[in-house]
A and B are shown apart, each in its own frame.
Chain A
Amino acid sequence: MTGKNAFIASLAMPIMIVTLLILARPRSIAAANANDQPSAAPAAVKIDNFVFGPQTVTVPVGTTVTWTNRDDIPHTAVSTDGVFKSKVMDTDEKFSYTFTKAGTYPYYCTIHPKMTGKVVVQ
């Protein structure tokens, strides 16, 4: 390898990395814009003091919503229309459901039915 070639080789790796980064950027923006189902950020509902918070959560299609029970008492999150049904969540237990269709999904705690919430999927 000549000295000139060695110089080019030493530059090649950083140049390649920079090029890849530049190429990658528009691709990731394109992915976000395409509204692909797996790309939706997960959403969280916390149960505190017998309340689903936030009471209404609005998410894009494909979002996985995770409920976490932070009370000392067990709760459930069960769709009023039978779409989803959590197991009984004891303290700090979670339940997740991925919403693949647009719509409004009212739900409640079957143990404490005064506790109600809504997932709006757009």
Chain B
Amino acid sequence: MPDKKQDFIDQELQDLNNDGVDRRGFLKCMAWAGTGLVWTMSGGIPVSRAFAKSSAKDAGVAADFSFVQISDSHIGFNKPANPDVTATLQTAINKINAMPHKPDFIIHTGDLSQLSKPSEFDTLDQALKGTSTKQIYFVPGEHDMLTDNGDEYLQRFGKDTKGTGYYSFDHKGVHFVGLVNVANLKAGGMGSLGHEQLEWLEDDLKGRSASTPIVLFAHIPLWTIYPDWGWGTDDSEQALSYVKRFGSVTVLNGHIHQIMQKVEGKVSFHTAMSTAFPQPAPGTAPSAGPMKVPAEQLSKVLGITDVNYLVSGRSLAVVDSSLGA
């Protein structure tokens, strides 16, 4: 039987080799996955290096602005993989509050809750009130849309959004787009954006200068990581065709509870760690269910993502750091 994980990694290396990141650089990333790494984009060419070698000067202070991505908090989950997800979310918040450079805002890429319960949303909301960063942007995960077509989520976290909860905003010259690929999923399929949202996206990007840096964020990866587990979005090609003309595109996702990255032309894809529990690497377990690790190792496989943007160099640095680092 072919080793699916090896195939996957080989494919990844192939993709990256074609796009400017060398094999050594990529392996370094993999070696540091879960313990933190820096991912810098310079003039459209991404370069990776180990987090431990970066300093605040490299990654933070020099940046024109930064924001933090957190993901997959799964408030309400209480199984052995992590019996206290509220505590690990709190650790993530403490980490954000302790940053030497204050992020301009936070993006949460979905699965705020485990079961879309009002009490779970309340707990998350209460915990996030403790961040020193007041502006938080959300997109829903499939766990947030379990009841009433996502009404509970939309009322709390999706005010002033369109349709199922998508929207865009500008910040210091960068255009951000929050997309929803967890609503109205079809039998046998993966994530889905749907016709209406795609039309809106095309329209939203129309007329913007190709030099505008674009950041797309959504819960399920907008690139196909592992179809057997539904780790991809059926109509993401369509969405990506709208950003092809832009010089710098960054795609931030969650859902798979581990760091994965890929570069395709000028589009850099990145998935974040969860603040709740890890999931297995593609094809290495019978299913994508929560992965149990020894308690003392849990904080090493949970984390946050710090994104630094340098206007002058038109570069973007993505720094993943684990809660335990």
A→B interface (CB under 8 Å):
49-51, 71-74, 80, 88, 90-91, 106-108, 110-114, 116
Indicate if the CB atoms of A73 and B289 lie closer than 8 Å: yes
Tell me the complex Cα distance, A5–B194, Å: 87
Query: From residue 256 to 308 of chain B, which have CB atoms closer than 8 A to chain A?
Result: 286-290
Indicate if the CB atoms of A88 and B147 lie closer than 8 Å: yes
Indicate if the CB atoms of B290 and A113 lie closer than 8 Å: no
**Given A74-B115, A74-B146, A114-B230: A106 touches B187 (CB 8 Å cut-off):** yes
Who on chain B is nearest to A110 by CB?
B185
Indicate if the CB atoms of B190 and A114 lie closer than 8 Å: yes
**Given A49-B287, A90-B115, A91-B79: A111 touches B146 (CB 8 Å cut-off):** yes
A–B pairs, 27, beta carbons within 8 Å: A49-B286, A50-B229, A50-B289, A71-B287, A71-B289, A72-B81, A72-B289, A73-B290, A74-B143, A74-B146, A88-B115, A90-B115, A91-B79, A106-B187, A107-B187, A108-B187, A108-B188, A110-B185, A111-B142, A113-B185, A113-B186, A113-B190, A113-B230, A114-B188, A114-B190, A114-B229, A116-B188
Contact of B187 among A71, A72, A80 (CB under 8 A): A80
Who on chain A is nearest to B76 by CB?
A90
B104 contacts partner chain A, Cβ-Cβ < 8 Å: no
Known: A49-B287, A71-B289. 10 other contacts (CB 8 A): A50-B288, A51-B287, A72-B81, A72-B289, A72-B290, A111-B185, A113-B188, A113-B189, A114-B188, A114-B229
SS class, residues of chain B in contact with chain A: loop
Min Cβ gap A7→B in Å is 69
Who on chain B is nearest to A88 by CB?
B146
Tell me the complex Cα distance, A71–B146, Å: 17
Q: Which residues of B contact A73 (CB under 8 A)?
A: 289-290
Contact of A114 among B77, B81, B228 (CB under 8 A): B228
Tell me the complex Cα distance, A108–B114, Å: 19
Contact of A72 among B79, B116, B227 (CB under 8 A): B79
Q: Which residues of A contact B286 (CB under 8 A)?
A: 49
B→A interface (CB under 8 Å):
77, 79, 81, 114-116, 142-143, 146-147, 185-190, 227-230, 286-290
Q: Which residues of A contact B186 (CB under 8 A)?
A: 113
Q: Which residues of A contact B189 (CB under 8 A)?
A: 113-114
Q: Which residues of B contact A74 (CB under 8 A)?
A: 114-115, 143, 146
Min Cβ gap B185→A in Å is 4
Q: Which residues of A contact B287 (CB under 8 A)?
A: 49-51, 71
Tell me the complex Cα distance, A95–B237, Å: 37
Min Cβ gap B44→A in Å is 34
Q: Which of B79, B81, B185, B228 has the largest count of A CB atoms less than 10 A from its CB?
A: B185
